[in-house]
Amino acid sequence: MLDSNKDSLKLEAMKRIVAMIARGKNASDLFPAVVKNVACKNIEVKKLVYVYLVRYAEEQQDLALLSISTFQRGLKDPNQLIRASALRVLSSIRVTIIVPIMMLAIKEAASDMSPYVRKTAAHAIPKLYSLDPEQKDCLIEVIEKLLADKTTLVAGSVVMAFEEVCPERIDLIHKNYRKLCNLLIDVEEWGQVVIINMLTRYARTQFLNPNMNEDKEEKEKKKTEATAVVKRKPYVMDPDHRLLLRNTKPLLQSRNAAVVMAVAQLYFHLAPKAEVGVIAKALVRLMRSHSEVQYVVLQNVATMSIKRRGMFEPYLKSFYIRSTDPTQIKVLKLEVLTNLANETNISTILREFQTYIKSNDKDFVAATIQAIGRCATNIGEVRDTCLNGLVQLLSNRDELVVAESVVVIKKLLQMQPEQHSDIIKHMAKLTDNIQVPMARASILWLIGEYCEHVPKIAPDVLRKMAKTFTNEEDIVKLQIINLAAKLYLTNSKQTKLLTQYVLNLAKYDQNYDIRDRARFIRQLIVPTDKSGALSKYAKKLFLALKPAPVLESPFKDRDHFQLGSLSHLLNAKAGGYQVLPDWPEAAPDPSVRNVEVKESVPEWTKCSSREKRKEKKADKPFYSDSEGESGPTESADSDTASGSESGSGSEESGSGSESEESNEESESASEEDEEEEGKKKKKNVEKIKARKPVFATICKPAWLNMQFLLNPLPVSVLQTIIPSGNLKTYELLHRITGEGLSVEYCFSRQPFSPDPHMVAVKIQFTNSATSEAKSLHMEDAKLQSGMRIKEFPEIEVLPAGETLSVVMGIDFCDSTQAANFQLCTHTRKFFVSIQPPVGELMMPIFMTENEFKKEQGQLMGMNEITEKLTLEEKCQGEHAVVQRVTTAANLSRVPCGSDKECRFAGKTVTSGSLVLVSVVTKEDGAAQLTVNCEKMVIGTMLVKDILQALTQ
């Protein structure tokens, strides 16, 4: 259909191909056939061809380069969509050698009459910058020009280019600041987010802190400087600062969650405290209506509620936890509730927490207990109440609840230990029942730290711990040693022998940390002739007063990151993050934002009459080879394009399209001058043929010149490049056995073009000998029944020190039996064999989620194998599971609605038998592997290999 002469068939073919791409199927094999139609005159076909090329130009750069002249002609097409698509494809070819062409194309598109093309030029700027950073100065000039654009379509895109290329050039924003503020309400939503984030950082460098007079530091300074003659001037907000706040406030009602979040962070970082409250209602509404953004909203609310608690107090009930909330949402709501807790509402919040403790979600219960501890720390009036409630939890049947309670109680007791000796005694009795290592260690630390408050119980606890020392976890053993040392120093009569016994056990422990701790403590507390000077200070070292822990929110001090950014989410500076500047001490000069008001006429409207436009066509643009084929050009750099005959430039800049529907009048007008223009075109074509191509002088390599680009090679000459990946390499012949010739092979996971039922095997020869190897070939293949082999072409000469790769095909008949053959040189023959892992006998196939479920339902019973396994810590993430499964087997990922399940699909190369794999993970590291396969032998072997990959 693509090779047809009918545009209708080509259009239908392109629709099907684009539909394939939309479904996630790989259509890269069709690139040569599609790229031939880039010069098609049918507008609809050309649009779809450009859509395809944008997707695959980066992967198929060599073929895309062959059509670069067509893209150049597309840059001058009358249709704005074609011009924009041509520029998009051109900027997608990631080859340094065409940087000059891309640069000129972007400059010309930046002056295009269509705002859509100018927007595309702004999108191309970061692509060119990443390809060649040395073009930064030229690109800044283009950005400066586009920043002056008054259309809302371009604003967001050029600000994004500014952020990517030159965010430090704040001077470029000065004259455009007020324009951006006024255009903001009409910019498309993606552009609004980008502009708001940029203006947030801009305002922090250009305006004074609106809360400067309300800060505590400022109040203290005023008290100390009461005798000063000169008083600090009252703060007056800059009108431009107020303009930004006023114009962004309506966007809190936006339907786009990202826009609301962007405005919220702007107000938090820039607005006076009295005005920040307006964002609370918007954020609560956003949290209720957009469940998919709840996590990010709560992250920001948790940070805001630490410093601006009052703004969220009226919405306290909005943060109550529902049983249907995911665990991560529950934990964040707990953070917000804890931050909002005060003397007035603490009783309500604690009653809510009592309900949460009964939940079946253990992680959530643990977080609730920690939240109770924080409330007790922050509000002294309820400390005893919280402590008693936590002590009651020590009798809970759930071991994890008890363990978390012990850890929190330990932190609370450090604040007032002398008042709670009964609680310490009660916790000492729990050592017989609690088995969680962290909880046992916390109890032992408490008893050791406050052994003087429980002098009768502490020695008995040490006696019990000495009995079970060898069976305890390392963290518990360390605390037993510490307990023994403290008791030895305070009550040596009762515990001297016990301490020596524990230290002797620790001396021979398998863990070197425990052995070292025991040696150190023995020398420190048991004085001998060889004891060092530190032994005198043993009591001061072990029995020193410890500062009480501070239970703080993990969101404290996160506000130095810009809210809503990835760095704020991770609480660590991410790559590419732009630091939120500090407020200036003195206000910068506001006059830099003053702009002279004058009517600016776009370049493309300066020349309105047809006669003047014809006169200016004498200066040809860079892309001269397309002259005479695509009609009149519209390059604003050379003033060759203009508005309509009536001079209404604003109308053209609004539509920007010159399609058949919008250009009927101009077509009728152009018919009158057709003969006259035809004569001029002939003369121009002759001049162009005689002119030396500019591109030939730019492209230095001989293989890439204008003649090469205008006369593409036949497709048969172009070789398929196998992408390099982390493919496992196997040794076929060792260099010692091979007398200097070493041979390795790997399964390239690429289709073997001569026979799709064969597995492609890449063989690499390395000649380490001092003499050349000749006549490298294979003979006498000994194969099992049904197996076939496609020999690699003979290598006539392999010079010394050289390496060469070839590809051969083997049909293993869906079995892991080895293919045996002789590897021959001109002097020797070596018997070698290639045996494939079961995962290399497959090829990936694309499936939708519904197709996967349907096929899996048909391969039940005898065709299904299920295994349960425990994932290692480093393999518990979704990314790690996918990586290991696809490394073990040549399968493709299948979309899945659940983030706890990974699905894969493929089929065997020879018989095409279906292979389906599913890995379902749980939070505790447990997982279930299910393999459905039409051939049970393959399924059994595959399960073994995947299990090994996931558990090693």
**pTM of the model as a whole:** 0.56
Instruction: State the span(s) of the chain assigned CATH 2.60.40.1150.
Output: 729-836
- pLDDT value at position 690? 44
The span from the CA of 668 to the CA of 181, in Å, is 43
Q: Please list the residue range(s) of the chain that carry CATH number 1.25.10.10.
A: 7-216
- Mean pLDDT (the chain, rounded): 79
pLDDT of residue 896: 85
Q: Is it the case that residue 822 has pLDDT exceeding 50?
A: yes
Mean pLDDT across 813-829: 89
Per-residue pLDDT, averaged over 78-101, amounts to: 85
> What does the pLDDT average to over 71-79?
83
Beta pairing class for 819-824 and 773-782: antiparallel
> Got the DSSP string for 742-759?
EEEEEEEEEE-TT-TTSE
3-state secondary structure of 551: coil
Question: Does 420 have pLDDT greater than 90?
Answer: no
Band of pLDDT at residue 414, cut at 50, 70 and 90: confident
Is the Cβ–Cβ distance between 60 and 31 less than 8 Å?
yes
Residue 519 has pLDDT above 80, yes or no: yes
Tens digits of per-residue pLDDT, 141-193?
Answer: 999 999 998 899 999 999 999 999 999 999 999 999 999 999 999 999 999 99
CATH of domain 7-216: 1.25.10.10
Q: Which two tokens mark 887? A: 């490394």
Q: Average of pLDDT values for 360-389?
A: 84
Least confident of 497-506, 532-541, 799-808, 861-870: 532-541
Query: Rounded distance, CA 76 to CA 138, Å?
Result: 22
State yes or no: pLDDT of 229 exceeds 50: no
Residues counted in the chain: 952
Which is more confidently placed, 395 or 242?
A: 242
Q: Which residue has better confidence, 398 or 726?
A: 398
**Where does the pLDDT of residue 745 fall: very low under 50, low under 70, confident under 90, or very high at 90 and above?**
very high
If pLDDT is split at 50, 70 and 90, which confidence band does 394 have?
confident
Closest CA to 459 of 435, 487, 440: 487
> With bands split at pLDDT 50, 70 and 90, how would you rate the model's confidence at 688?
very low
* 318-335 tens-digit pLDDT: 889 888 888 888 889 998
Asked whether the predicted pLDDT for residue 45 surpasses 70, the reply is: yes
Residues 6+ apart with CB under 8 A from 538: 489, 524, 525
- The stretch 479-491 carries a mean pLDDT of 89
Residues of the chain with CATH 3.30.310.10: 840-951
> Mean pLDDT lowest for which of 308-317, 473-482, 606-615?
606-615
CATH architecture of 840-951: 2-Layer Sandwich (3.30)
In the structure, what pLDDT confidence band is assigned to residue 531 with cuts at 50, 70 and 90?
A: low
For residue 702, name the pLDDT band (cuts at 50, 70, 90). very low
- Give the model's confidence band at 763: pLDDT under 50 very low, under 70 low, under 90 confident, else very high: very high
- Checking if the pLDDT of 411 tops 50, the result is yes
> Is 1.10.10.10 the CATH number for 729-836?
no
Handedness of CA 8, 14, 20, 22 (dihedral sign): negative
Torsion of CA 468, 472, 474, 477, to 10 degrees: -30
Confidence of residue 478 (pLDDT cuts 50, 70, 90): very high
Reading the block at residue 658, the tokens are 């010159």
Q: Cα separations (Å) of 208 from 98, 204, 450, 468, 562? A: 46, 8, 52, 65, 18
Helix pair 278-289, 294-307: axis angle to 10 deg: 150
* 308-317, 693-702, 902-911: segment of lowest average pLDDT: 693-702
The span from the CA of 195 to the CA of 160, in Å, is 8
Side-chain-side CA neighbours of 146 within 13 Å: the count stands at 35
User: Are 231 and 213 in contact, with CB atoms under 8 Å apart?
Assistant: no
The confidence band for 568, taking pLDDT boundaries of 50, 70 and 90, is: confident
Single-letter amino acid code for the residue at 183: L
Nearest Cα to Cα of residue 35 among 9, 12, 14: 14
* The predicted structure's pLDDT at residue 597: 55
Q: Crossing angle, helix 239-248 and helix 189-206, to 10 degrees? A: 160
* Longest CA pairwise span in the chain (Å): 120
Q: Which of 108-112, 695-699, 746-750 comes out lowest in average pLDDT?
A: 695-699
pLDDT at 672 over 70: no
Q: For the chain, give the percent of residues with pLDDT over 70.
A: 83
Q: What is the DSSP letter of 468?
A: T
Residue bearing the bigger pLDDT, 188 or 684: 188
pLDDT band at 200 (very low <50, low <70, confident <90, very high): very high
Per-residue confidence (pLDDT) for residue 163, from 0 to 100: 92
Tokens of 862: 């005898």
pLDDT of residue 572: 81
Strand order in the sheet with 788-790: 730-733, 741-751, 759-767, 803-811, 788-790
Please report the pLDDT score of residue 529 as a whole number.
63
Residue 240 burial (C-beta neighbours within 10 Å; 0-12, 13-18, 19+): middle
Average pLDDT, integer, range 468-491: 90
203-207, 247-251, 288-292 — which is least confidently predicted?
288-292
User: What is the reported pLDDT for 218?
Assistant: 52
Residue 554 has pLDDT above 70, yes or no: yes
pLDDT, residue 476, reads 92
The per-residue pLDDT for 902 is 92
pLDDT at 811: 92
* pLDDT given at position 658: 38
Q: Between 725 and 51, where is the model more confident?
A: 51
Least confident of 131-145, 272-286, 429-443, 826-840: 429-443
Residue ranges with strand state E in 768-802: 773-782, 788-790, 795-798
- Residue 530: pLDDT band (50, 70, 90) is low
Q: Write down the pLDDT at residue 601.
A: 44
C-alpha 929/C-alpha 855 separation (Å) is 17
Q: Which residues contact 137 (CB under 8 A, 6 or more apart)?
A: none
Inform me whether the pLDDT recorded for 244 exceeds 90: yes
CA pair distance 323, 359, nearest whole angstrom:
8
Confidence band (pLDDT; 50, 70, 90) for 725? very low
Give the model's pLDDT for residue 173: 92
C-alpha dist (Å) from residue 259 to 253, 254, 289, 802, 879: 9, 7, 15, 59, 30
Provide the pLDDT confidence category of residue 202 given band limits of 50, 70 and 90. Answer: very high
Q: Report residue 220's pLDDT band, with 50, 70 and 90 as the boundaries.
A: low
What is the band of 288 on the pLDDT scale with cuts at 50, 70, 90? Answer: confident
Contact 786, 813 (CB under 8 A): yes
Q: The tokens of 462 are what?
A: 């040490």
What's the confidence (pLDDT) of residue 898? 80
Confidence category of residue 743, pLDDT binned at 50, 70, 90: very high
Contact 74, 43 (CB under 8 A): no
pLDDT at 308: 80
Q: Tens digit of pLDDT for each residue in 598-619?
A: 544 444 444 434 444 444 444 4
| Backbone torsion region of residue 780, taken as left when φ is above 0, otherwise alpha when ψ lies between -120 and 50, otherwise beta | left
Q: Mean of the pLDDT values across residues 283-299?
A: 83
Question: What pLDDT score does 532 carry?
Answer: 64
Q: Is beta strand 803-811 parallel, antiparallel or unpaired with respect to 788-790?
A: antiparallel
| Spatial contact of 83 and 48, defined as CB atoms under 8 Å apart | no
Question: pLDDT value at position 766?
Answer: 93
